[in-house]
Structure 1
Amino acid sequence: MTPTQLQNVSEAADDIRRLIAQGDLPGASAALTPLGVPEVVELVDRLSIEDAAIVYRLLAKSRALEVFEALSPGTRGDLVQALRNVEIAALFAEIDPDDRVWLLDELPASVAPQLLRGLTRQERDLTSGMLGYPQDSIGRRMSPEFVTTHPRLTVAETMTRIRGALAHAETIYTLPVTDGGRRVVGVISLRDLLAASDDDLVADLMSQAHLAEVTEDAEAAARRATDYGLLALPIVDREQRLVGILTIDDAARILKQAESEDAARQGGVEPLRRSYLSTPIRRLVRSRVVWLLVLAVGATLTVQVLDAFQTTLAQLTVLALFVPLLIGTGGNTGNQAATTVTRSLALGEVTPRDLFRVLAREVRVGFFLGLLLGALGFVLAGLVYQWHIGAVIGLTLVAVCTVAASIGGIMPLAARAIRVDPAVFSNPFITTFVDATGLIIYFLIAKAVLGI
């Protein structure tokens, strides 16, 4: 969305808040009329959930469904809880099975049976089947509504299949090719079908298929789909039988959510389910307070280290002046390494099996960074204070940068190996750990060099 469009939405949000507060619903409805679906989605994200529910009720039915499908899962969940039961049931029946599962994952567990009962038997079976897969698997994010063809069918017969499935198929631009046992033997694009003759066989036109198993991690499958530029990725069970497809737009949505979660957790907060401006203050507090408490407890390690070396500090108080510099440099170095490796993990460039290769690289990177910073610290501290103080600062920077980069590099890999989100193990915990170890290194080097 362009800056001009965002400005228009911001102005419209202010107008609609005022009109709703005045009870002027016809005026609010008129203010919504010139906005397109993307702008209404942005508007809903900027409003409180109570005002968003009122705005949603003012939309025409067909437009309301388009808006609902474009909302984020978190916003959908909040909106559903703000609407009446009749409205919820109607919405739930209209959206696709994969969108229903996204929505149910955002709602209390007690709501699911009530919503499922309002579906037809066929739609209920499709949705319930997806809910049976693991929480973070691609089976919960795929679409079970797809069109297939067979290697021995002609182009004309395949086009007839496509026309008959236009009303319910998730996509028609890439078709899985299956044999008699529903096993995927290839894929064919609509472009190739349109370019071929009616009598050509699918077997002569199809290409090799990239597949994902239904229990595979959703983010990994989505990453592969986008890396290969696939419009649709067939999802299969253990016997390679087709059970669904992942479209490129759903893959992009999975990756967007995953990257938002990683970015939040690297900063020591829980990800927000809605946009920042429309998130209640109590939810913002709740998303941050747990991590602050955990990190505050972890920071007591730093206090314990300072207490253990208080005699050293008392003998040479100038050492205390450099504590913020050293622990800050160590924390920043570790965070840089962790961010780089976490990103490489997400892109599939490294795996936990590369732990020792990553460690070897980060030891060297940290050492060279330490040499550069240590040389500068040695000269500045030596000129301002004394050269033996400069030596302590220089040697400490070399050691701290080496340790911090090494820890920052291997911690995300260790997290992935034990099936924990690497982002959780990254910046906040690394900073706390490096603060404590950096101080220990600092005071040990000071005692050795200064003889105190």
Structure 2
Amino acid sequence: MADDDEREIELTSLVERNDLTGIRLWLAEHQPYEIADELSRMDVHLALVPFRLLDKDRELEVFEELDPHHQHQILLGLRDSAFRALLEEMDPDDRARLIGEAPAKIATRALAGLSPAERKMTAALLGYPEGAVGRYMTPETVILHRDLTVGRALEVVRAKGADAETVYTLPVVDDGRRLAGTVQLSDLVVSDDSELIKDIVDVLVPRVRATEPAEDAARLMQQANLVALPVVDSEERFVGLLTFDDALELIEAADTEDIARQSGASPVSGHYVAAGVVRLARARSVWLLLLIVAATLTVNVMQVYEATLEQVTALALFVPMLTGTGGNVGSQSATAIVRALAVGEVRLRDLPKVAWKESRVGVLLGLMLASVALVVGTALVGPLIAAVVAVSVIAICTWAAVIGSTMPILARRVGVDPAVVSAPLVSTLVDATGLLIYFSIARLVLGI
């Protein structure tokens, strides 16, 4: 960690001193991903200085390592010639993603500056719905016909491979360009030259439609351990490959968004260090405002049972403990189910099974925690109120586990991101309903 801090200070210091020789030496000693990380930490007017000093090949590598937010900032600081040259050299899928997320000013300028061939390829990818795998696939592939021999297929790979984004997974098609399967380059290399491609093609390889969600496709790749995933149109014609590097970025972006949602905040693009205070506060404020409004339910419940509290003031001692416990149990259940939904372990039809399992988990947790509450409560306020608290703990834990596990699934059912209704919202809801359970049990047991 210390080395990282020193490296960042060193580059920033070199830029601030306008030490061009020192900057060039620093850039030569570091990998593109390291350079991109350091540029992401700097203000854009400073980051442009080392970026402009990169040679053409490394400039593209570093640029593609940046997230879209910083790519847009860098582009705005480039002259037209450098702007056009950089975009022209990008892979079509990376370029389409950048333009699709860019402000209108950058998008228009970018498309206008492309060559006709690159513009056509980019426009085709942008024609797919936002978030569809078609936006993330690469059309630059080496396509093999199923009737080719292995020897001829290797000649095709050698002739066209330099222009393809990947040659490790090769799509195989029939006369109508319909996907027959894929063949791995390693299989071609070890096969006899006279053998036909159709005899070694993997016809069972998973495939996805270009209009399907990109995150689902990336999760499928992860599950099936694929280097690349074929993408087809509605008529099963091959249109591109989703490569593993793009799949990793999709999964990282989805997980980052889920983490933000689970904490009750909106996702913030770009590097945290470079993000402004106002921007971070704005991302968190909306959800906090909604949650504080939802928290008024708890105040209303306390108001309704004000008379009960006046008769047995000792009940108030355990309100923070019960609401905190219920919120924690609900949050744990919600987090587990959001993760299970994301990786495909839980589906919509599993709702009854999940609710039944989590209810039993809640009961077990409640029994364990109730035993502690009973001992502590007896010592503080006597056995009767301690019994009320212990029974309430069991009921609240069970209720919280069920609510926490079912709300994300129901959210998915109605088309809402499950992470949105996870920990903070579940905790707020369980606080209010938990108090209803607590005071209802107290009235029943104490006869008030």
Structure 1 residues 436 and 182, CA gap change in structure 2 (3 angstroms):
same
Letter in 2 for 1:191: S
Q: What one-letter code is carried by the residue in structure 2 that aligns with 1:405?
A: A
Q: Which moved more, 1:333-342 or 1:300-309?
A: 300-309
Q: What is the identity, as a one-letter code, of the residue corresponding to 2:243?
A: T
How many angstroms does 1:17 deviate by?
2.2
| Counterpart selection for 2:49 from 54, 61, 73 | 54
Q: Which amino acid aligns with 2:399?
A: V
Q: How does 1:316-335 map to 2 (within 5 A)?
A: 316-335=312-331
Aligned counterpart in structure 2 of residue 116 of structure 1, from 98, 101, 111? 111
Alignment of 1:132-147 (within 5 A): 132-147=127-142
Which residue matches 1:421? 417
Measured in 2, the distance between the counterparts of 1:314 and 1:391 equals: 19
Of 184, 204, 220, which aligns to 1:224?
220
Query: What is residue 241 of structure 2 aligned with on the other side?
Result: 245
The 3-state SS of whatever aligns with 1:166 is helix
For 2:50, the aligned partner's letter is V
Which of 305, 309, 314 is the matching residue for 2:310? 314
Which moves more between the two structures, 415-424 or 44-53?
A: 44-53
Bigger mean CA deviation after superposition, 100-109 or 369-378: 100-109
The answer to whether the Cα contact below 8 Å between 2:322 and 2:393 also exists between their aligned partners in 1 is yes
Distance in 2 separating the partners of 1:413 and 1:150: 43
Q: Which residue of 1 aligns with 2:377?
A: 381
The DSSP-based 3-state class of the residue aligned with 1:423 is: helix
Alignment of 1:302 onto 2:298: yes
What's the counterpart of residue 131 of structure 1? 126
1:18 corresponds in structure 2 to 13
Q: Which moved more, 1:79-88 or 1:332-341?
A: 79-88
Instruction: Indicate which of 87, 91, 96 corresponds to 1:92.
Output: 87
The 3-state SS of whatever aligns with 2:162 is: coil
Bigger mean CA offset, 24-33 vs 381-390: 24-33
SS of 2:418 mapped into structure 1: coil
Q: Which of 273, 277, 300 lines up with 1:281 in the alignment? A: 277
- Return closer, same or farther for 1:281/1:84 CA change in 2, 3 Å cut-off: farther
Q: Return closer, same or farther for 1:289/1:375 CA change in 2, 3 Å cut-off.
A: same
- Residues 16 and 46, structure 2, Cα contact 8 Å, conserved in 1: no
Contact 2:72 2:106 in 1 (8 A): no
CA–CA separation in structure 2 for the residues paired with 1:83 and 1:394: 66
- 1:180 paired with 2:175, answer yes
Cα RMSD, aligned residues only: 1.5
Deviations 1:362-392 (A, max 9, x none): 1111111111111221121012211111011
Q: Which amino acid aligns with 2:385?
A: I
For residue 154 of structure 1, the aligned residue among 142, 149, 152 is 149
Q: Which amino acid aligns with 2:388?
A: V
| Cα-to-partner distance string for 1:303-340 (whole Å, 9 max, x where unaligned) | 11112112222222222121111111111101111111
Superposed CA deviations along residues 172-227 of structure 1, whole A, max 9, x for unmatched, are: 01111100111111111100100012111101111122111111111111111121
- What fraction of aligned residue pairs are identical, expressed as a percent? 45
Q: Does residue 107 in structure 1 map to residue 102 in structure 2?
A: yes
The answer as to 2:26 corresponding to 1:31 is yes
Q: TM-score normalized by structure 1?
A: 0.95
Pick from 78, 92, 110 the counterpart of residue 73 of structure 2.
Answer: 78
Give 3-state SS (helix, strand or coil) of 1:136's partner. coil
Once the two structures are superposed, the pairs formed by residues 441-452 of structure 1 within 5 Å of their partners are: 441-452=437-448
Aligned residues: 447
CA contact (8 A) 2:150 2:192 kept: yes
The Cα of 1:85 is off from its aligned counterpart by 3.7
- 2:233–2:239 CA contact under 8 A, matched in 1: yes
SS at 1:235 equivalent: strand
Give 1:333's aligned amino acid: V
Q: Which of 62, 69, 74 is equivalent to 2:64?
A: 69
Within 2, Cα distance between the matches of 1:158 and 1:344?
A: 42
Unaligned segments of structure 1, at least 5 residues: none
Shift of 1:82: 3.8
Report the CA distance between 1:106 and its aligned residue. 2.8
Residue 178 of structure 2 contacts residue 238 of structure 2 at CA under 8 Å; is this kept in 1?
Answer: yes
The 1-side partners of 2:263 and 2:317 are apart by 27
Identify which range, 392-401 or 274-283, moves more after superposition: 274-283
Q: Contact 1:13–1:47 (CA<8 Å) still a contact in 2?
A: no
Contact 2:96 2:126 in 1 (8 A): yes
Measured in 1, the distance between the counterparts of 2:436 and 2:58 equals 62
Unaligned 5+ residue runs, structure 2? none
